[in-house]
Structure formats: C-alpha cells, structure tokens
C-alpha cells in the first residue's frame, strides 16, 4: 500500500506576492507570514530601488530634465541630481526601510504590545514594492501631460495612494502581528508623516 503523498500548497514568488498584495491583500498576508523574514523585506526594498532607477531616474537623466525645486543637498548640483540619485536613492530606500521599521518596533515594545522586528521589516519592504509602480504611473502621467500645470492633480493622486498604503500596512500589522487596527493605522500614519520632511530633503520629482 502506497503512503499518502504530502502535497505542499503552492508557494508564491516575490512577483506573485506583489500581484496578490494589490488585488488579494488577505491572501498576500497569509503567504507573507511563511516567507523568510526579514530577507523578503530586503529583497523587496532593493527591487523597488532598481525599479525606480530604471523607470524614473535614468530616463529623466537621459532626457536632460532638471529637478524642480532645485536640489537641497549641497553636495549634489541640481544639474547632476538625477545621475546622483541612481546612487543616493538605493541607500535612502534601505535607510528609511530600516528607520521606519525600528520606529514601529520601539513604540510597540515601549507600549508592551506584541512586536516582531523581522515581520515588521518584511511588511514595510513589501509595501514599498507593491505601491511604487502605482505612484510612478501617476508621476509619468504628470510628466507626459505637463507636471507644472498639474501639481494639484499629482498631489491629490499621491495623497490617495498614501491613504491606500496606510490602510494596507495597517491590515498587515493586524493580520500578521495581531495588533488592533487602530494601533496599526496610527503607527503607519506616524511613519508616513515622518517620511515627508525626509523625502522633501532627499527626493525630487
């Protein structure tokens, strides 16, 4: 008599997880629980940086576009900003991934809530990868149509996407870490607010 064969459920790859996270978040969170942490968060963070370089900074550099407003970084001339960003952005991306995850972890520990830094890093990394293509799509629409005449439209689109990200990450904290949804949303909103001055300093559209 043959022994029953144990059939493992289909495991998603990183791109499959990205697709599921957009259209089936609950399924994506269940899958993310089983993924190596924080390795998947790091893979997603690096892939996001590569994506941005290839579809944003490199094309703008090749087109000779100048950033507006000018660079706030004294060591990066405005005319060379997009070329320098191909080095700066990956470093910035990894830095804020680590920083924001650490902020969430410390707040949870101080408050006596359940906390797992590896899972927090995974959730944050995947969130950045999931929503970056959506943000970039709206940005390129602004470029094609004339971004100087569409600041309000781009601002509203980014705000709507930010709200979507906050809700998605909050659900991730809720499903994976078991945190109350109000706490999850508050933590996500906090790091989003902290990101605003940092992004204004280092990043340009």
Q: For residue range 102-159, list pLDDT tens digits in order.
A: 999 999 999 999 899 999 999 999 998 888 887 877 777 777 776 555 556 666 777 7
pLDDT band at 99 (very low <50, low <70, confident <90, very high): very high
**Cα–Cα distances in Å, from 143 out to 17, 48, 155, 173, 200?**
29, 20, 13, 35, 19
DSSP E strands: which ranges in 105-168? none
Residue 50 lies in a domain: yes
Distance CA 185, CA 169 (A): 8
**How many independent structural domains does the chain possess?**
1
Phi-psi region of 76 (alpha: psi -120 to 50; beta: other; left: phi over 0): beta
Residue 9 lies in a domain: no
pTM of the model: 0.84
Tell me how crowded residue 17 is: count the other CB atoms within 10 A of its CB: 22
Residue 113 lies in a domain: yes
Residue 69 lies in a domain: yes
Residue 51 lies in a domain: yes
Tens-place pLDDT, residues 103-117 = 999 999 999 998 999
Residue 41 lies in a domain: yes
Within 53-116, residue ranges assigned H as helices are 58-62, 81-110
Give the CA dihedral 188, 189, 191, 197, nearest 10 degrees: 160
Residue 3 lies in a domain: no
More confident residue, 86 or 161: 86
Q: Packing angle between helix 39-52 and helix 117-145, nearest 10 degrees? A: 10
Residue range of the domain that includes 130: 36-202
Residue 11 lies in a domain: no
Cβ atoms of 93 and 49 closer than 8 Å: yes
DSSP E strands: which ranges in 13-94? none
């Amino acid at each position: 008599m043959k022994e029953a064969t144990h059939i493992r459920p289909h495991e998603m790859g990183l791109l499959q997880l990205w697709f599921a996270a957009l259209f089936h978040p609950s399924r994506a969170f269940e899958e993310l629980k089983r993924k190596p942490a924080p390795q998947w968060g790091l893979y997603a963070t690096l892939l996001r940086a590569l994506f941005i370089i290839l579809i944003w900074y490199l094309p703008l550099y090749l087109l000779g576009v100048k950033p507006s407003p000018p660079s706030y970084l004294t060591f990066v001339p405005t005319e060379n900003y997009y070329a320098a960003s191909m080095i700066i952005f990956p470093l910035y991306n990894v830095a804020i991934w680590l920083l924001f995850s650490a902020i969430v972890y410390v707040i949870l520990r101080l408050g006596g809530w359940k906390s797992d830094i590896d899972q927090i890093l995974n959730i944050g990394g995947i969130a950045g990868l999931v929503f970056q293509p959506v943000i970039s799509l709206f940005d390129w629409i602004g470029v094609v149509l004339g971004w100087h005449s569409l600041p309000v439209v781009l601002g509203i689109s980014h705000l709507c996407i930010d709200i979507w990200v906050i809700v998605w990450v909050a659900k991730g904290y809720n499903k994976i870490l078991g945190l109350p949804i109000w706490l999850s949303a508050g933590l996500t909103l906090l790091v989003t607010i902290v990101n605003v001055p940092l992004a204004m300093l280092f990043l340009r559209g």
